[in-house]
């Protein structure tokens, strides 16, 4: 693989080995970290993300269980699933796969999760703590991006990072984390979005571009300065009759177009995706350790 490629599978595997070592002392005390998943409806992309997360749990030795609800599920049914996990001493982390079929329910469902079990880092308590730089469960994709940059030798410290996309899951938490004065952050940040007038003007100033727009070909060669680092958070399904499933996954970046200009880039698939899942495992192990320490 080209030296320019930041390989998420390799970095994630390294982090998963570190996690396995942290499981041993827990096991000695009879604790096995447990993840409780709630999946509502049968969206194929959500289904496949949840399967990947559950497989990853199995791989490192985390127990996972799933509550699957048919859409349209009443709010109370989803809240009951969350509350059951809140009470369950064998469940240390809770994940409600988003989007919910009815997006209007999301805020209330997330708020019902015990913040000490919020391994997605989506609860307002954890978001507030994150912004203040206090100990918190960090949202998995932004944290995965930061771990990847650090471990690939591309620290954002002192550099200008231009983020495209202002979602609550990626763009906005990532912008906040990058501004913190610590070993993962200390960057200058520009957060671009659909209201940004001249996107290319901003991306051309970037030392590091993070594309999280959810749209293929959002970043093309003319938007990237020579030597920039490009992180592609996009996971878009595009029709492809030559593939057995009838589609392939592409990111938000024109990978082939920008490749000769960049100094480092993440592929899709195999870039940020494995890191996101690994940070969920990381938070779940952390949740179990915290619970164990509290007794
Ligand atoms: N949907 C897309 N990304 C995520 C994620 O990181 N966590 C959850 N729960 N749902 C998602």
Which CATH number characterizes residue 239's domain? 3.40.50.720
How many CB atoms are located within 10 Å of the residue 32 CB?
Answer: 13
The reply to whether 127 falls in a domain is no
CB distance 278 to ligand 1 below 6 Å:
no
Q: Which of ligand 1's atoms lies nearest the C-alpha of 276?
A: 6
pLDDT tens digit string along 123-144? Answer: 999 999 999 999 999 999 999 9
Q: Are residues 76 and 144 in the same domain?
A: no
Q: How many C-beta neighbours within 10 Å does residue 190 have?
A: 17
Six-digit token string for 112: 């019902």
Could you tell me if the CB of 120 is within 6 A of ligand 1? yes
Q: What is the pLDDT of residue 171?
A: 98
Q: Which of 116, 118, 120, 254 is catalytic?
A: 120
Q: Is residue 291 part of a domain?
A: no
Q: Is the dihedral of CA 219, 221, 225, 228 positive or negative?
A: positive
- For residues 152 and 264, membership in a common domain is answered with yes
Residue 120 alpha carbon, nearest atom of ligand 1 = 7
Q: Is 205 a catalytic residue?
A: no
Q: What is the pLDDT of residues 186-212, one digit of tens each?
A: 999 999 999 999 999 999 999 999 999
pLDDT higher than threshold 90 for residue 1: no
Q: What is the per-residue pLDDT across 70-128, written as a single tens digit (0 to 9) for each?
A: 999 999 999 999 999 999 999 999 999 999 999 999 999 999 999 999 999 999 999 99
Ligand 1 contacts CB of residue 10 (under 6 A): no
Domain membership of residue 125 (yes or no) is: no
End-to-end CA distance of the chain: 46
Look up residue 22 and give its DSSP letter: H
Average pLDDT estimate for 244-251: 96
Same domain? 178 vs 57: no
Q: Give yes or no: residues 50 and 99 share one domain.
A: yes
Burial class (CB in 10 A: 0-12, 13-18, 19+), 221: middle
pLDDT of 253: 98
Residue 24 lies in a domain: no
Q: If we measure between CA atoms, which residue out of 199, 201, 164, 157 comes closest to residue 179?
A: 157
| Any domain includes 109 | yes
CA distance 3 to 264: 8
Query: Can you give the residue range of the structural domain that contains 254?
Result: 140-272
Of ligand 1's listed atoms, the one at least distance from the Cα of 141 is 6
pTM of the model: 0.97
Domain CATH number, residue 40: 3.40.50.10860
What is residue 244's predicted lDDT score, i.e. its pLDDT? 94
Q: What is the CA radius of gyration of the chain?
A: 19
Work out the percent of the chain whose per-residue pLDDT is above 70: 100
Q: Which of 97, 117, 147, 232 does the annotation list as catalytic?
A: 97
Residue 31 has pLDDT above 90, yes or no: yes
Q: Are residues 98 and 159 in the same domain?
A: no
CA 109 to chain centre: 19
* Residue nearest to ligand 1 atom 8, measured at CA: 97
pLDDT of residue 36: 98
Same domain, 95 and 194: no
What is the domain count for the chain? 2
**Ligand 1 within 6 A of 52 CB?**
no
Indicate whether 286 belongs to any domain. Answer: no
Report yes or no on 163 lying in a domain. yes
Using pLDDT thresholds of 50, 70 and 90, give the confidence band for residue 248: very high
Same domain assignment for residues 205 and 239 = yes
Do 147 and 186 fall within a single domain?
A: yes
Report whether pLDDT(295) > 80: no
Q: What is the pLDDT of residues 267-289, one digit of tens each?
A: 999 999 999 999 999 999 999 99
* Cβ of residue 212 lying under 6 Å from some atom of ligand 1: no
Residues 104 and 217 in one domain: no
Does the pLDDT at position 60 exceed 80? Answer: yes
Q: Are residues 163 and 59 in the same domain?
A: no
Looking at the CA of residue 96, tell me the nearest atom of ligand 1.
Answer: 9
User: Does 241 reside within a domain?
Assistant: yes
Q: Are residues 170 and 263 in the same domain?
A: yes
**Claim to verify: residue 257 and residue 158 sit in the same structural domain:** yes
């Amino acid at each position: 693989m080209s030296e320019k490629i930041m390989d998420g599978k390799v970095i994630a595997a390294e982090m998963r080995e570190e996690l396995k070592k942290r499981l041993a002392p827990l096991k000695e005390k009879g604790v096995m970290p447990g993840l409780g998943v709630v999946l509502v409806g049968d969206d194929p992309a959500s289904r496949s993300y949840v399967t990947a997360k559950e497989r990853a749990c199995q791989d490192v030795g985390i127990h996972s269980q799933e509550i699957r609800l048919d859409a349209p599920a009443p709010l109370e049914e989803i809240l009951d699933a969350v509350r059951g996990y809140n009470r369950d001493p064998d469940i240390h982390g809770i994940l409600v796969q988003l989007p919910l079929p009815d997006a209007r329910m999301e805020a209330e469902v997330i708020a019902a999760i015990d913040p000490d079990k919020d391994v997605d880092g989506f609860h307002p308590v954890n978001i507030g703590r994150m912004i203040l730089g206090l100990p918190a469960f960090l949202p998995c994709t932004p944290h995965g991006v930061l771990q990847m940059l650090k471990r690939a030798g591309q620290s954002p410290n002192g550099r200008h990072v231009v983020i495209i996309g202002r979602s609550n899951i990626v763009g906005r938490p990532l912008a906040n984390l990058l501004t913190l004065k610590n070993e993962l952050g200390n960057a200058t940040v520009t957060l671009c979005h659909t209201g940004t007038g001249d996107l290319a003007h901003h991306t051309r100033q970037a030392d590091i571009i993070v594309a999280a727009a959810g749209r293929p070909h959002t970043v093309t060669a003319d938007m990237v300065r020579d030597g920039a680092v490009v992180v592609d958070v996009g996971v878009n399904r595009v029709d492809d009759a030559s593939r057995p499933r009838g589609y392939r996954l592409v990111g938000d970046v024109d990978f082939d177009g920008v490749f000769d200009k960049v100094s480092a880039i993440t592929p899709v698939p195999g870039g940020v995706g494995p890191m996101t899942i690994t940070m969920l495992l990381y938070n779940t192990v952390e949740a179990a350790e915290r619970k164990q320490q509290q007794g």
